[in-house]
């Protein structure tokens, strides 16, 4: 029997996403892949209750600490998944890289462009480390179909691309504030920093990087309860629409691309979507209809959408029956699988790898220009 290689992970930040990561790793036999098996050996959080949850639920843990520097000293850790508030990304990511650990970081990969520049500098000085940023929605099987359809050039000439992420929990104005609604912790980008990377991963990978942006940002809710009987300022952008131009590398033609990130989107729980409209064909996917890949062929006057049911299989094959359903936790596991594939013999053969550091830098260039556009009420050119 050939013994599979393992990749020993530490997690820093054991909140919502830290737990999702642990759950994905715990059911790794779900995937049919020869890439190294992730094993969770170390965890770190400043909140003792979060550490307790991991100690109770994850038997492979050898190190459980409140100071990330202790985790980084451990010889039991090869790679770190880091899911902490945005204001901490810069120092923490730099510490992880300087400790010689591979990094799967969370978006926005630095609270602002200055922080991202500092992280990029350390990445460039450590070319031996694998560094990627989280973004899981492209791994839905129906989005895989959409990516294949785009790569085949099935759209002809692009008319418009719409990529968006809609939330609605903040529609409840009695919801107590958390760090995601406080600019000093979440960042000046507001909803764009929180949700933007999800909307940019596929377009950027297709070479659709904006050459200009006009931003329309909304601040709808100015105060929120703090959960302790007080009312406090809520100073982040709620909603953002970035109206951009990009050039399609396939034919060098210009087209419109809209990135929409909304925390105040009535009715949308956690809806990610990508729509591509072209002269010869159009296609779309939304997590609100997660099995469906919609496609339309433009032949003459009349056009109609065709809906395909896509089943369970994503980029990395799994043990689930092909006709069964796929969900958020599957997408997250596929994202981690794409990261583990980077450590496969001969390098990754994955068809749609994680967000690269260069793509995070492109994201920060776009979002920084969007803030300027909104402030000066004009279109900003991007190089």
Ligand X SMILES: NC(=O)c1ccc[n+]([C@@H]2O[C@H](COP(=O)([O-])OP(=O)(O)OC[C@H]3O[C@@H](n4cnc5c(N)ncnc54)[C@H](O)[C@@H]3O)[C@@H](O)[C@H]2O)c1
Q: State the residues that interact with ligand X by CB under 6 A.
A: 12-17, 44-47, 50, 68, 83-86, 88, 106-107, 134, 136, 194
* Residue closer to ligand X (CB basis): 96 or 371: 96
Euclidean distance between CA atoms 191 and 95, whole angstroms: 26
The CB-of-102 to ligand X minimum distance in angstroms stands at 18
The CB-of-71 to ligand X minimum distance in angstroms stands at 9
The CB-of-129 to ligand X minimum distance in angstroms stands at 19
Dihedral (Cα; 319, 314, 20, 14), 10-degree rounding: 120
The CB-of-197 to ligand X minimum distance in angstroms stands at 8
* Residue closer to ligand X (CB basis): 8 or 68: 68
Contact 223, 129 (CB under 8 A): no
The pairing of strands 158-167 and 131-133 is unpaired
* Residue closer to ligand X (CB basis): 40 or 246: 40
* Residue closer to ligand X (CB basis): 35 or 65: 65
Q: Give the relative orientation of helices 141-151 and 191-205 as an angle to the nearest 10 degrees.
A: 50
The CB-of-203 to ligand X minimum distance in angstroms stands at 17
Q: Which residue is nearest to ligand X (CB)?
A: 15
Residue 9 to residues 47, 224, 228, 259, 309, Cα–Cα distance (Å): 20, 37, 37, 33, 35
* Residue closer to ligand X (CB basis): 318 or 354: 354
Euclidean distance between CA atoms 116 and 114, whole angstroms: 5
Cα–Cα nearest to 97, from 131, 146, 50: 131
* Residue closer to ligand X (CB basis): 86 or 246: 86
The CB-of-335 to ligand X minimum distance in angstroms stands at 8
Cα–Cα nearest to 16, from 354, 261, 270, 262: 270
């Amino acid at each position: 029997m050939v013994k599979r290689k393992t990749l020993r992970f530490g997690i820093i930040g054991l909140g919502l996403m830290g737990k999702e990561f642990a759950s994905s790793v715990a059911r790794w036999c779900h995937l049919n892949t020869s890439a190294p098996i992730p094993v969770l050996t170390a965890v770190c959080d400043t909140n003792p209750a979060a550490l307790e949850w991991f100690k109770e639920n994850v038997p492979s843990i050898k190190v459980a600490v409140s100071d990330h520097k202790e985790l980084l000293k451990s010889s039991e850790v090869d790679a770190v998944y880091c899911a902490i508030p945005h204001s901490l990304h810069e120092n923490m990511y730099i510490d992880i890289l300087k400790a010689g650990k591979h990094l799967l970081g969370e978006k926005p990969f630095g609270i602002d462009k200055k922080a991202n520049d500092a992280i990029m500098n350390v990445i460039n000085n450590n070319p031996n480390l694998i560094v990627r940023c989280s973004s899981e929605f492209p791994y839905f099987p129906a989005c895989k179909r959409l990516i294949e359809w785009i790569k085949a050039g099935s759209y002809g000439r692009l008319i418009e691309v719409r990529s968006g992420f809609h939330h609605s929990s903040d529609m409840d104005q009695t919801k107590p504030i958390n760090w995601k609604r406080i600019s000093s912790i979440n960042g000046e980008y507001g909803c764009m920093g929180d949700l933007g990377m999800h909307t940019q991963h596929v377009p950027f990978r297709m070479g659709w990087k904006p050459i200009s942006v006009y931003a329309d940002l909304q601040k709808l809710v100015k105060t929120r309860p703090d959960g302790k009987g007080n009312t406090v300022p809520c100073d982040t952008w709620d909603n953002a629409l970035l109206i951009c131009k990009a050039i399609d590398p396939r034919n060098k033609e210009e087209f419109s691309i809209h990135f929409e990130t909304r925390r105040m989107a009535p009715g949308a729980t956690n809806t990610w979507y990508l729509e591509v409209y072209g002269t010869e064909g159009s296609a779309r996917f939304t997590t609100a209809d997660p099995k469906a890949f919609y496609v339309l062929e433009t032949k003459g006057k009349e056009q109609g959408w065709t809906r395909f049911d896509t089943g369970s299989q994503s980029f990395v094959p799994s043990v689930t029956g092909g006709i069964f359903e796929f969900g958020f936790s599957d997408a997250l596991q596929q994202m981690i699988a794409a990261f583990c594939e980077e450590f496969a013999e001969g390098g990754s053969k994955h068809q749609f790898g994680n967000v690269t550091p260069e793509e995070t830098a492109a994201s920060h260039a776009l979002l920084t220009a969007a803030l300027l556009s909104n402030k000066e009420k004009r279109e900003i050119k991007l190089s």
